[in-house]
């Protein structure tokens, strides 16, 4: 896991700025730093060290320097977090033995050992034990098709001196980020947004069109656009080719539709087999590995299966609370005790909120949706004390139907046109309506119609925007397709795919990456092994949700490995935080000073009087506005970060 930067330009002033761009990724790779400058028209390639390079690399290569020849060059830069092959052999940028292929790489190829053996069988030789060299030789053997050979998470850029192309790629589900910018003067890429702004001498322009969508829905659409104009995200499962000043983007992978042809017992065995192997692969490391443990189904499954295959006690990391409604210590303790783990618990502090929130916003780089990021920050900080790699449970809900309780179950019956089942569940429809009311009933069963209504001028969510701003917004841009694509054999499979590709996973992975890398921690997500995803999304409806019980097949498969208290849990807390109470107490002054002060750039978008009324209702207990408060605080810090550019 590392940070990568690169630029192709003839402008010497821009070339020199890559040094500042790389400094901004120091947290992603504090162990080493490296550069290579390659002439586009010739064959020369010169390596340089940086101020944070190891002593061995500083002795081997001169400090980064750009000559004043104004020739077009490719510069690849790297920040290393040493995980595999800790020796200087793992230094990047790395090249093949002929110095024709150069790579800067962020991520891990978990099946690199197997691929290395396969490539040796084809006659390739290796001078390192790194997965980076495996990528180079895989590219030499299979070209762009090498991507479908990898099981892992990656964002890398390869300069091929033979063909004069830059080949950039991102992993199947976008665990690792990759951004780029292109204009008439340069093409540049980076692991984060801030480094790409250093090449722009003008003020960074906020992509204002995304702000209404964010405040209404959160970060719920995976697109190439970012919150900054002219900076784009390479989509997951895509690669980009830059040649002669032009770029082309292609998709190399999509979740395959197939039928396993297995009965229930065989599927249960297959789930455990694949998850065990995924965890085993993600424990490959030359540094200590631990796991997050929330007490929920997914993180507990990882701890259970990891413990089965390791003689040493697993280090687990958890956020706990003094407030009973948020605390999951009961389940955390059960899991830790059953599997003999070394428990590492941390209690997020209310009186540290302002300072940590500011740091959190700096590293996240985008407006964020809710307070679950606060305990996640503490977990990562605690993990840094003992490990360098951390497994987490992102994706388990999306892959095996964890979100599909009664609303999704009933909606699935309607969308699959299961008329006999629909008639048989008529009582469940009525019960769901009586229990949840018209709002929840409509949003689940008729999301398209409900969406149009809530996006209309009658929606209270529109009141927060000032009239001058919202008048110039294309309302159609706020309408997105809530219906999943018809790809799999049933509605719930399609909805799972929608969550993974478009809705929840892209956002959750962004948060996970930034929170972990802020503490120089490599986060790995076993549930997003593409083999597990393909298995889960091709399951039939009754295996994903049954009569309002989420992921029934997964529960059966993992029951032999987990305590009954965890398997039988039907409450889903996520990352609960007593943030609502804090906002009415100790954080009130901070909120007022942050959101209501004159000259606040938020009021380019928001109506101040409406915001004041909403806050008053919140403080009086007439409404819970705490999640909106988080979003507004986050949006304000984001705008200030890129407007002031004090980084």
Indicate whether 541 pLDDT > 80. yes
Report the pLDDT value the prediction gives residue 568, as an integer from 0 to 100.
82
CB neighbour class for 6 (10 Å; exposed up to 12, middle 13-18, buried from 19): buried
Report the pLDDT value the prediction gives residue 461, as an integer from 0 to 100.
63
Res. 458 pLDDT band, cuts 50 70 90: very low
Report the pLDDT value the prediction gives residue 157, as an integer from 0 to 100.
98
**Sign for the pseudo-dihedral over CA of 524, 526, 527, 528:** positive
Exposure string (b/e) for 138-150, b if CB count within 10 Å is 16 or more? Answer: bbbbeeeebbebb
- The model's pLDDT over 196-219, given as tens digits with 9 standing for 90+, comes to 999 998 878 999 989 988 988 888
Give the SS3 label for residue 505: helix
The lowest-confidence range among 367-376, 537-546, 633-642 is 537-546
pTM greater than 0.85 (yes/no)? yes
The lowest-confidence range among 151-155, 443-447, 591-595 is 443-447
DSSP-assigned letters across all residues of 422-461: HHHTHHHHHHHHHHHHHHHHHHHHSHHHHHHHHTSTT-GG
- The model's pLDDT over 245-300, given as tens digits with 9 standing for 90+, comes to 999 999 999 999 987 789 999 999 999 999 999 999 999 999 999 999 999 999 99
Question: Phi and psi (nearest 5°) for 358?
Answer: -65, -45
Q: Do 212 and 473 contact (CB within 8 A), yes or no?
A: yes
How many helical (H) and strand (E) elements, i.e. helices and strands, does the chain have?
27, 20
The closest alpha carbon to 86, from 49, 47, 54, 42, belongs to: 54
Instruction: Decide which of 95 and 477 is more confident.
Output: 95
Res. 452 pLDDT band, cuts 50 70 90: low
User: Omega into 93 within 30° of 0, i.e. cis?
Assistant: yes
Indicate whether 622 pLDDT > 70. yes
Report the pLDDT value the prediction gives residue 403, as an integer from 0 to 100.
81
Q: What percent of the chain has pLDDT over 70?
A: 94
Report the pLDDT value the prediction gives residue 575, as an integer from 0 to 100.
61
Q: What is the DSSP letter of 502?
A: I
Res. 43 pLDDT band, cuts 50 70 90: confident
Residue 123 in tokens: 């006659």
Instruction: Decide which of 88 and 431 is more confident.
Output: 88
Q: What is the mean pLDDT of residues 365-390?
A: 97
Report the pLDDT value the prediction gives residue 481, as an integer from 0 to 100.
64
Q: What is the mean pLDDT of residues 190-199?
A: 97
Indicate whether 532 pLDDT > 70. yes
Q: What is the mean pLDDT of residues 558-566?
A: 94
Tell me which long-range contacts 609-617 makes (C-beta under 8 A, separation of at least 24).
610/463, 610/464, 611/464, 614/464, 615/591
Q: What is the mean pLDDT of residues 79-108?
A: 96
Report the pLDDT value the prediction gives residue 172, as an integer from 0 to 100.
98
Please tell me the distance from the alpha carbon of residue 500 to that of residue 607, in angstroms, as a whole number: 35
Q: What is the mean pLDDT of residues 30-36?
A: 98
Residue 155 in tokens: 């964002």
- Strand-pair partners of 233: 179
Side-chain half-sphere of 149: how many Cα atoms within 13 Å?
21
Res. 562 pLDDT band, cuts 50 70 90: very high
- The model's pLDDT over 568-618, given as tens digits with 9 standing for 90+, comes to 876 665 567 899 999 999 999 999 999 998 888 999 999 999 999 999 999
Please tell me the distance from the alpha carbon of residue 528 to that of residue 531, in angstroms, as a whole number: 8
Catalytic residues: 2
Report the pLDDT value the prediction gives residue 186, as an integer from 0 to 100.
96
Res. 441 pLDDT band, cuts 50 70 90: low
Q: What is the DSSP letter of 55?
A: H
Q: What angle do CA 400, 108, 250 make, to 5 degrees?
A: 75
Q: What is the mean pLDDT of residues 394-399?
A: 94
Instruction: Decide which of 422 and 592 is more confident.
Output: 592
- The model's pLDDT over 134-150, given as tens digits with 9 standing for 90+, comes to 999 999 999 999 999 99
């Amino acid at each position: 896991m590392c940070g990568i930067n690169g630029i192709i330009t003839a402008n010497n002033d821009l070339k020199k700025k890559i040094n500042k761009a790389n400094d901004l990724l120091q947290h992603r790779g504090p162990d080493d730093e490296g550069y290579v400058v390659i002439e586009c028209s010739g064959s020369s390639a010169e390596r340089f060290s940086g101020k944070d390079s190891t002593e061995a690399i500083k002795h081997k290569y001169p400090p980064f320097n750009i000559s004043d020849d104004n020739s077009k060059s490719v510069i690849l830069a790297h920040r290393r977090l040493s995980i595999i092959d800790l020796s200087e052999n793992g230094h990047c940028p790395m090249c093949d033995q002929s110095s024709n292929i150069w790579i800067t790489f962020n991520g891990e190829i978990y099946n690199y050992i197997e691929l290395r053996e396969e490539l040796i069988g084809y006659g390739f030789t290796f001078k390192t034990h790194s997965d980076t060299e495996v990528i180079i030789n895989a590219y030499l053997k299979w070209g762009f098709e090498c991507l479908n050979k990898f099981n892992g998470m990656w964002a890398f850029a390869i300069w091929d001196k033979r063909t004069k192309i830059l080949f950039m790629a991102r992993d199947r589900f976008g665990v690792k980020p990759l951004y780029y910018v292109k204009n008439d003067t340069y093409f540049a890429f980076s692991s984060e947004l801030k480094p790409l702004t250093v090449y722009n001498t003008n003020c960074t322009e906020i992509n204002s069109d995304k702000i209404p969508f964010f405040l209404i829905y959160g970060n719920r659409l995976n697109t190439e656009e970012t919150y900054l104009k002219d900076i784009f995200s390479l989509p997951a499962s895509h690669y980009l080719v830059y040649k002669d000043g032009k770029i082309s983007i292609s998709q190399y992978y999509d979740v395959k539709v197939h039928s396993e042809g297995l009965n229930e017992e065989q599927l249960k065995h297959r789930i455990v087999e694949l998850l065990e192997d995924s965890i085993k692969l993600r424990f490959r490391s030359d540094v200590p590995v631990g796991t997050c443990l929330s007490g929920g189904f997914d993180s507990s499954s990882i701890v259970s299966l990891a413990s089965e295959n390791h003689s040493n006690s697993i280090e687990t990391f958890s956020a706990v609370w003094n407030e009973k409604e948020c605390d999951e210590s009961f389940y955390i303790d059960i899991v830790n005790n059953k599997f003999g783990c070394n428990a590492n618990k941390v209690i997020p502090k209310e009186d540290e909120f302002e300072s940590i929130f500011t740091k959190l916003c700096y590293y996240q780089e985008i407006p964020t949706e809710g307070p679950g990021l606060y305990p996640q920050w503490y977990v990562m900080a605690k993990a840094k004390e003992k490990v360098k790699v951390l497994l987490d449970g992102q994706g388990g809900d999306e892959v095996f139907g964890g979100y599909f309780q009664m609303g999704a179950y009933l909606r699935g019956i309607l969308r699959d046109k299961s008329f006999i089942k629909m008639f048989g569940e008529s009582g469940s429809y009525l019960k769901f309506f009586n229990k949840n009311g018209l709002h929840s009933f409509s949003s689940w069963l008729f999301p398209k119609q409900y969406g149009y209504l809530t996006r209309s001028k009658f929606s209270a969510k529109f009141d927060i925007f000032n009239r001058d701003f919202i008048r110039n917004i294309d309302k159609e841009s706020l309408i997105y397709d809530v219906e999943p694509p018809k790809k799999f054999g049933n509605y719930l499979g399609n909805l799972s795919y929608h969550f993974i590709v478009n809705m929840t996973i892209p956002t959750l992975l962004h948060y996970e990456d930034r929170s972990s890398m802020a503490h120089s921690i490599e986060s790995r997500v076993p549930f997003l092994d593409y083999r597990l995803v393909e298995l889960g999304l091709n399951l039939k409806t009754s295996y994903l949700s049954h009569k309002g019980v989420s992921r029934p097949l997964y529960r059966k498969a993992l029951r032999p490995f987990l305590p009954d208290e965890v398997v039988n849990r039907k409450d889903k807390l996520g990352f609960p935080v007593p943030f609502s109470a804090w906002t009415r107490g100790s954080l009130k002054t901070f909120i007022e000073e942050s959101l209501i002060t004159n000259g606040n750039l938020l009021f380019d978008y928001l109506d101040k009087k409406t915001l004041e009324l909403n806050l008053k209702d919140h403080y009086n207990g007439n409404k819970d506005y705490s999640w909106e408060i988080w979003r507004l605080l986050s949006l304000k810090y984001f705008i200030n970060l890129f407007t002031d550019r004090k980084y």
